[in-house]
Structure 1
């Protein structure tokens, strides 16, 4: 029986791979699936995976040597993680260097200046430097913990849904042993917002031609190594399932079905104050001159632990979590199939989704729901100049949505009110743009991405 070892550190990734047709297809082909993850002993998850026949093992805790940490920091700053590589990384450099309070001041300033110098040198454009570092990387990716894992599992193929640090160490070990190493990208913004790819996989999986283009452009990946499959995490939008009656769904949510439903997705670190944003939206829709009766509902960001009880009680709005909290996962979130179906229903019945640099814009587009990109921070004098909220919609992934014409960026209170009224009166506005978002980001909407991804892995088995 062939064995595939998958490293999963995020609950969102577990949702994408283990609760979709991807896993079902592998198991149906009589392939042994072994998952190394931090939530290997979480009771509910363990019971669920055991029932499916998936073996869970603990993710090894890597003991990184000082020299290795220094090498990684310098290599990343030299050839990728500095201003100028992408607009997203430039924003990150400004914010983390001048704003981020949790980092010691002296360390922040040193890092800010060092990365700034690397940006001036434009070394991210040097293909030769990148190739040199790829040759050096395996020397710094040796860990007995990973060697022991591979000795124990003896996989026929290794699959990483996050081919950056620290998965690069596992990819290096697989390649050293002649085991096919496959890398996929877990989120649509990763190729323009994360660190460089060290120890490049043998093969790549991309969601779409756009993602393939980014892998080639920013990471110099050989296009012949990239296969496009779509992503399983959106398959549930395209499989024909009935919706609840509107009244039943609203009753479950404790919302008046006679009101228009406006869903706000918090920006967390991408906005200066979600509370201020909510108060602004609430003041508009509750004003006596606003012609529609509306209900404002918060769908919390999956990784966020922010508490909204005080403002929800004060303003009479509702709030929901995106899933269960499971501290063992790196992102602390666990989304069940039931959670995903609820999201589909929520996007379907929402009249407008307002978000701050969130992938929920893609979810909204899947149900052809109008979407507003909240950007009042841009001209707010209270927001520090270097804060990422000032320029979040210049990031590459957000520009894809804007250029598709599928959402409207609002920068003033008047613009916000105008587009609320426009979308409520004419919900078909920008429908073609929303279709473009779906096709550009997700590629194929046949609901078979999970099966295609599984087939790609099976084709690469020795």
Structure 2
């Protein structure tokens, strides 16, 4: 039987990290006749040198510029979805919009929750119209030439992949959607176009796919996140504390607090938080001598932190490398550096970031900030709203972190963890098990196996071996 031809849509550098710089791409190359990459940076020399070798080819992905009709259809689909049995996160978004629009807000909430809930029968028709009548980006000729047996998508929600999704659906090519992160199925709205199969990290996400997106259990493969293999079975051991501190110019005699940044929309006051922690350090208000490592989010504009870079207690660490068109591009070395940071930090401070889960893999304590300086008053505009979202509520319910609502609470929490880093350790283990699910270093194998199974369902899938669902402290020594 012939070997399959596999198309991978790589719309951003997060997908590059998750699929191309893990075991997924090498395993697919070994099993497939041809791997077809479609990416916005397909013509960049660095991308081609790293990935376009042997039986791998690359085609450019154009930006998606939806027409008025497409925007209307997507808006109608989204609002009908919002009127159904959707996640608490999306209901929170609706309530926030209503709270910030005192005249139209009550009307929209009434229409969405009372009227649109009776029109759900229109959704399949609208979704079909969205797929069949929208632009397909000129991908038809490429699909005819390359003849992929499966098309794999890795961003999914109203993004640059949409025209290629349409083209694949119209050509009758089986589709697989890899859900990029643990929050996507509850935060992003309707998944349109619908994929034939989904690949998710854990059983919680499988249940979300069934409940909120109408997938059957047998249409969802639970594989773990391929990039988590770097935590539990790293290709290279993480640097020891002494080498890590030396690389960043840190003082080995002091404890390390790391402020991990978030998207500026989520944490507009990040520089103020950094100044506050620096003041705690300088004024001697912490229980032991400390230093502060500031690591902005890859999506953030580093210039936002210009005024705090020269503070006496602060060391600045910018993740990744610039990409021509998208977020900072994280290499395997950058990912390893992130995990070294989490392993060797004594404490992580953040605003509702995935970094809390990543830190839990290493049993590193974390604090979540729930107060703000510049946002409008009220719950729906404060950082506290993020901790009520479905995905983050499980972190709070696991007891994996501490939420602080004022400067004084932040100071108390920092000193509490400096005095006893083992506090909430069991909660961190719980959330690590729930989110990672697998700690055997074979998530990339399972992901590749699920893709190959979709490409050739009559051929035995790639053997991935037994998996242990016992994620705990990261193995990097």
Residues 248 and 159 of structure 1, relative CA distance in 2, 3 Å threshold: same
Shift, 1:13, TM fit: 1.1
Residues 289 and 323 of structure 1, relative CA distance in 2, 3 Å threshold: closer
Q: Which runs of 5 or more structure 1 residues have no equivalent in the other structure? A: 100-107
Q: TM-score, normalised by structure 1?
A: 0.89
**1:278 has 2:280 as partner:** no
Correspondence for 2:337 among 342, 346, 353: 342
Q: Which runs of 5 or more structure 2 residues have no equivalent in the other structure? A: 457-477
**1:321 has 2:315 as partner:** no
Q: Which has the higher helix share?
A: 1
- The correspondence of residues 25-44 of structure 1 with structure 2, limited to 5 A, is 25-44=27-46
SS in 2 for 1:427: coil
Q: TM-score, normalised by structure 2?
A: 0.87
Post-superposition Cα deviations, 1:239-276, rounded to whole Å, max 9, x if no partner, equal: 15433232221011011011111000123211341122
Residues 382 and 224 of structure 1, relative CA distance in 2, 3 Å threshold: closer
Residues 124 and 49 of structure 1, relative CA distance in 2, 3 Å threshold: farther
1:181 aligned partner = 175
Shift, 1:374, TM fit: 1.1
**1:201 has 2:195 as partner:** yes
1:214 aligned partner = 208
Residues 292 and 52 of structure 1, relative CA distance in 2, 3 Å threshold: farther
Range with bigger deviation, 267-276 or 133-142: 133-142
SS in 1 for 2:293: strand
What is the CA–CA distance in structure 2 between the aligned matches of 1:59 and 1:97, rounded to whole Å?
37
1:104 aligned partner = none
SS in 1 for 2:15: helix
Shift, 1:214, TM fit: 1.1
Range with bigger deviation, 271-280 or 426-435: 271-280
**1:89 has 2:90 as partner:** yes
1:102 aligned partner = none
Range with bigger deviation, 122-131 or 437-446: 122-131
- The correspondence of residues 18-167 of structure 1 with structure 2, limited to 5 A, is 18-51=20-53, 53-62=55-64, 64-80=66-82, 85-93=86-94, 116-121=109-114, 123=116, 128-143=121-136, 145-166=138-159, 167=161
What is the CA–CA distance in structure 2 between the aligned matches of 1:110 and 1:85, rounded to whole Å?
24
What is the CA–CA distance in structure 2 between the aligned matches of 1:132 and 1:51, rounded to whole Å?
42
1:309 aligned partner = 306
Correspondence for 2:14 among 12, 15, 21: 12
Residues 354 and 76 of structure 1, relative CA distance in 2, 3 Å threshold: same
What is the CA–CA distance in structure 2 between the aligned matches of 1:202 and 1:208, rounded to whole Å?
18
What is the CA–CA distance in structure 2 between the aligned matches of 1:447 and 1:344, rounded to whole Å?
15
Residues 390 and 62 of structure 1, relative CA distance in 2, 3 Å threshold: closer
Post-superposition Cα deviations, 1:209-266, rounded to whole Å, max 9, x if no partner, equal: 0001111122122222111001112110001543323222101101101111100012
Correspondence for 1:427 among 398, 421, 428: 421
1:105 aligned partner = none
SS in 1 for 2:180: coil
What is the CA–CA distance in structure 1 between the aligned matches of 2:88 and 2:289, rounded to whole Å?
39
Contact kept? 1:4, 1:158, Cα under 8 Å: yes
What is the CA–CA distance in structure 2 between the aligned matches of 1:65 and 1:382, rounded to whole Å?
33
Range with bigger deviation, 10-19 or 303-312: 303-312
Residues 177 and 447 of structure 1, relative CA distance in 2, 3 Å threshold: same
Shift, 1:112, TM fit: 6.3
Cα RMSD between the aligned structures?
2.6
SS in 1 for 2:310: helix
